[in-house]
Chain A
């Protein structure tokens, strides 16, 4: 018999971190000079093709628009893959009508910290592809080159309303490599899942994980970690100078770092402790880059004002703690405190980092909301909905395309059986780019090749 597996605690200390503020990527897609920008249109570009979209109006539903609002008895109309409008008694021509009475509609849920595909199920050594733990600096690796398109976990997340997720490398390294933002669609190749025009990201990691993994060769301390980041950035600056002399020079490790310095790649920084997050902000100042989002941030509430001032998002769990020392100072009010900092200008995100938690981000948001109210904040359900829609979209640089129900955006949305902040609520239907991707009533959902030969159990 094997080592006992009872009550598995948190045995894999994964990582993540990021944020950007909304606009700095969006106007720079065209005309880039770096290899990174070539990627948006070139060899590794998204080849995603939506399923056939429908022309649908959902009538008389309770609508969370993702901008912080909650509307009663509203209609939502989408066609040609885009949101056409949200309002009272919309005039929509011959759109197919869905009765939304008693139902809730939200934007598609976005998880900006997932390892689906790189740590697929079943969890076996042969497909454990999330951590290139061979060097503290592996900014040259790309998570998308590890993603397994047949991971049976995607559809479980889809049943929880997830339409977009961000796959990150693990946290073993100071620089873990590039992350990739995917649409939650079934495909045989990774480019077919890639979110069109989504910026690349860079995973960085603070604290216990890198210094533990590299304790024998270094870094073995937090100050060693910081020296490692700074040396790498100096290397990237040198690389950029070299590029000016010889534009054909290739160095894929530094291409990623230079992409960050050029403001094109978003930094997602796994970092638990408040003091370390502040240090990481200083490093960004030294080298002239901006951190998009801190991930995990169990102590983010201690520097909530600083995060708001810097425009840095914090992607957090509602209540995880205690699996290691840097996750000891937990408060369930963490997300709410970050959200409410500086007059409610904070950017709080509920993330999962977990193939089970990703199925219930709405429930995690509910627990965080309750703790925030208990701490004395007046926070609306509409505001809490931004933690799993608008804010992760902003963090990933795709808010111009998804994350809210604004007209013109991708028709990524969920119809819920009731209030998504209730434990008894389920996603009834999920649409991605206006195409039905999941339907609970008919058991309609994608099945990967891996699922074949395994009996199809009823969706619950």
Chain B
């Protein structure tokens, strides 16, 4: 094949991935060659000849998909029960809190998830207060340097509360947004004036104020964790009256108001496996959720929230696989863990396998959504990643050299 427009780099980062069943943006799997150079996908064709790539990966009989985009606390949290290892929350800031600045690329959870096909995460903030903070997108490649995009959205939750009626919370949010709008031209505005006379002691600094302004200006959506169907309707109405963009999160009873969500063109981020009625707000939790949302035409992204949660964020593949078992089509399921997260938040150049996109891709030894499939390679920004991880090192250590005391066994 004649490729006159290619400028071959000499950085050694050129990869030719041969013959893998490749998940294409149209949702089909087709046997393709993929040429990667300088971190980008250059070409996807039936047969790319000898282009002098230093690295050739034989993917015949394997599957190639975009790197998984997960929603997690990867690199922000090592052990949940130890607060000193947990950087997901803040008491100082709320709306303006961006936890991704604490990201540690050497977290064991990061290494494990890379070995399981995750190329990037949307970091989910968990500040205490009225707002949880800002979503940020981070690649989880090895080394110190990670590409980021964001902020992507401002996170809050709405529904049952120990403190006050949800009706009051709705009024509070309306008053708050109206206050921000009225003071949007004041560079040093905070919420001190607004909060006087309210019973709670939520803090809103100038930084938090500016984050809210981003929502009001339409720069980022409000991301609302919500369960009850009537709460979803109230939030839809609220966002319409405030003329802000909205993303729903969790949304256990979204299936009951799927048409209204579709009409408002609001995406939903959820775990298809959430079918336990854990609260009185989610009594109608059911596997029907993803099916009805899909039928209504709602765009979805999936996260995995069962078991060990964020540390096993890669198990979004298991959530997606189960959604297929529930009746969702495979393409929608696969997109919900790759391109849909990118589409929902307007991420640039990630989430799909297409020329010009970042070369974030996974080579699997079998169906990516199956339980027994392994990752053979993960490329992030065109670099074949080290997939070693602590769990496999522990496995090795206890299967080999058993005659030696543990501490004298080799590290790898």
Which A residues fall within an 8 A CB radius of B? 1-11, 13, 121-124, 152-153, 156, 208, 301-302, 304, 317, 319-325, 328-333, 337, 354-357, 359-360, 363, 366-367, 369-371, 373-376, 421-426, 454-455, 457-460
Q: Is B283 in contact with chain A by the CB < 8 A criterion?
A: yes
Which chain B residues in 141-176 approach chain A with CB under 8 Å? 155-163, 169
A295, chain B: closest CB distance, angstroms: 15
Smallest CB gap from A325: residue in B: B79
Q: Interface readout for B77-95 with A: 1 if CB under 8 Å, 0 if not?
A: 1111110000000000000
Question: Does A320 lie within 8 Å of B324, measured CB to CB?
Answer: no
A7 contacts B81, C-beta separation under 8 Å = no
Residues of B within 8 Å of A319, CB to CB, are 307-308, 312, 315
Query: Quick check: is B243 within 8 A (CB to CB) of the other chain?
Result: no
CB < 8 Å neighbour of B318 from A11, A152, A355, A363 = A363
Decide yes or no whether B49 CB sits under 8 A from chain A. no
What are 8 pairs between A and B in contact, CB < 8 Å?
A: A3-B128, A7-B310, A10-B309, A124-B280, A304-B398, A333-B399, A370-B373, A423-B321
Partner of A423, one of B225, B274, B324: B324
Please name all residues of chain A whose beta carbon is closer than 8 Å to the beta carbon of B399 when the two chains form the complex. Answer: 333, 337, 375-376
B124 interface neighbour in A7, A304, A425, A460, Cβ under 8 Å: A7
Q: Please judge, given known A-B contacts A7-B73, A123-B279, A425-B325, whether A357 and B374 are in contact too, CB under 8 Å.
A: no
Give every chain A residue within 8 A of B71 (Cβ-Cβ): 7
A332 to B314, CA, bound (A): 14
**For residue A373, which residue of chain B has the nearest CB?**
B372
With A and B bound together, what is the CA distance between A152 and B283 in angstroms? 10
Chain A residues whose C-beta falls within 8 Å of the C-beta of B77 in the assembled complex? 9
The answer to the question of B100 belonging to the interface, with a C-beta cut-off of 8 Å to chain A, is no
Which residues does chain A contribute within 8 Å of B125, judged by CB atoms? 6
In contact, B395 and A333 (Cβ under 8 angstroms): yes
Interface membership of chain B positions 300-334, coded 1 if the CB is closer than 8 angstroms to chain A and 0 otherwise:
00010111111110010010011011110000000
Within 8 Å of chain A (Cβ to Cβ): is B195? no
In the bound assembly, the distance between CA atoms of A263 and B321 in angstroms comes to 45
Q: Within 8 Å of chain A (Cβ to Cβ): is B106?
A: no
What DSSP secondary structure best describes chain B's contact surface? loop
A354 to B324, CA, bound (A): 23
Q: How far is the CB of B276 from chain A (nearest CB, A)?
A: 5
Considering only residues 54-112 of chain B, those with a C-beta below 8 Å from chain A are: 71-73, 77-82, 108-109
Within 8 A of A (CB), among B212-264: 225, 249-250
Question: What would 10 more interface pairs be, CB under 8 Å, given A4-B225, A454-B277, A457-B284?
Answer: A1-B130, A2-B162, A5-B225, A6-B155, A122-B282, A322-B109, A328-B79, A356-B276, A460-B286, A460-B287
Find out whether the CB atom of A357 lies under 8 angstroms from the CB atom of B307.
yes
Q: 8 closest A-B pairs (Cβ-Cβ)?
A: A460-B287, A423-B321, A370-B372, A457-B286, A322-B311, A460-B326, A324-B81, A366-B371
Alpha-carbon distance between A266 and B34 when the two chains are bound, in angstroms: 58
- Is B394 an interface residue when CB atoms closer than 8 A count as contact? yes
Q: Using a CB–CB distance below 8 Å, which chain B residues touch chain A?
A: 71-73, 77-82, 108-109, 124-128, 130, 132, 155-163, 169, 225, 249-250, 273-280, 282-284, 286-288, 291, 303, 305-312, 315, 318, 321-322, 324-327, 369-374, 391-392, 394-395, 398-399, 406
List of B residues within 8 angstroms of A337 by Cβ: 395, 398-399
**Is B73 a contact partner of A354 (Cβ separation < 8 A)?**
no
Q: What CA separation (Å) do A367 and B374 show in the bound complex? A: 10
Q: Are A356 and B307 in contact (CB under 8 A)?
A: yes
Q: Is the CB–CB distance between B308 and A152 below 8 Å?
A: no
Chain A residues positioned under 8 Å from B126 (CB to CB) = 4, 6-7
B407 to chain A, nearest CB (A): 12
* A354 engages B307 (CB within 8 Å): yes
Partner of A302, one of B72, B81, B398: B398
A4 adjacent to B127 (CB under 8 Å):
yes
- Please judge, given known A-B contacts A370-B374, A421-B371, whether A4 and B163 are in contact too, CB under 8 Å: no
Residues of B contacting A123 in the complex (Cβ-Cβ under 8 angstroms) = 278-279
Point out the residues of chain A lying under 8 angstroms from B279, CB to CB: 122-124
For the complex formed, measure the closest distance between the CB of B294 and the CB atoms of chain A, giving whole angstroms. 12
Taking a contact as CB atoms under 8 Å apart, the answer to whether A317 and B307 are in contact is yes
Report the minimum CB–CB distance from A114 to chain B (whole Å).
Answer: 13
CA distance A152 to B309 in the complex (A): 23
**B327:A366 contact, CB within 8 angstroms:** no
A455 vs B73: C-alpha distance when bound (angstroms):
35
CB distance from A90 to the nearest CB of B (A): 31
Closest to B399 in A: A375
Contacts of A375 in B (CB 8 A): 395, 399
> How far does the alpha carbon of A329 sit from the alpha carbon of B374 in the complex, in Å?
21
Question: If the complex has contacts A317-B307, A357-B307, are A423 and B392 also in contact, measured as CB distance less than 8 A?
Answer: no
Q: Which residues of A contact B250 (CB under 8 A)?
A: 5-6
Give the residues in chain B near A11, CB-CB below 8 Å: 80
Residues on B with beta carbons closer than 8 Å to the beta carbon of A455: 284
For A305, the closest partner residue in chain B by CB is B402
**Residues in B whose Cβ lies below 8 Å from that of A328:** 79, 108
Chain B contacts for A4, CB-based, 8 A: 126-128, 132, 155-157, 225
Bound form: Cα–Cα A122–B309 in Å: 20
Determine whether the beta carbon of B308 is less than 8 Å from that of A320: yes
Name the residue in A317, A322, A354, A458 with the highest tally of chain B Cβ atoms < 10 Å from its Cβ.
A322
Q: Quick one: given A2-B162, A122-B279, A331-B391, are A324 and B322 in contact (CB under 8 Å)?
A: no
Q: Is the CB of B305 within 8 A of A7?
A: yes
Determine which residue in B77, B81, B279, B308 has the highest number of CB atoms from chain A within 10 A of its CB, and name it: B81
Complex Cα distance, B282 from A255, in Å, reads 42
Q: Which one of A156, A333, A370 contacts B371 once the chains associate, using CB atoms below 8 Å?
A: A370
- Distance, CA A208 to CA B80, complexed state (A): 13
Smallest distance from the beta carbon of B153 to chain A beta carbons, Å?
11
Q: Tell me the nearest residue of chain A to B288, going by C-beta.
A: A457
Nearest residue, chain A, Cβ from B290: A460
In the bound complex, residues from chain B placing their C-beta under 8 Å from that of A454 are 277, 283-284
A354 touches B308 (CB 8 A): no
By beta carbon, the residue of chain B nearest A13 is B81
Q: How far is the CB of B336 from chain A (nearest CB, A)?
A: 15
* Distance A458 CA – B286 CA, assembled complex (angstroms): 8
Contact (Cβ within 8 A) A322 B395:
no
**A455 CB → nearest B CB, Å:** 7
A374 contacts across to B, CB distance below 8 A: 374
Across-interface contacts of B163 in A (CB, < 8 A): 1-2
- Closest residue of B by beta carbon distance from A371: B395
Report the Cα distance A451→B71, complex, angstroms.
Answer: 32
What B residues does A122 contact at CB under 8 A?
277-280, 282-283
Query: What are the residues of chain B within 8 A of A323 when measuring CB–CB?
Result: 79-81, 308-309, 311
Question: Contact: B309 with A121, CB < 8 Å?
Answer: no
| B157 pairs with A153, CB closer than 8 A | no
Q: How far is the CA of A334 from the CA of B318 in the complex (A)?
A: 20
List B contacts of A321 (CB < 8 A).
Answer: 308, 311-312, 391
Question: B273 to A330, Cβ gap below 8 A?
Answer: no
Report the nearest A residue to B366, measured CB to CB. A370
Interchain CB contact under 8 A, A423 and B325: yes
Q: In the bound complex, what is the Cα–Cα distance between A2 and B391 (angstroms)?
A: 36
Residues of chain B contacted by A317 (CB below 8 angstroms): 307-308
A10 touches B372 (CB 8 A): no
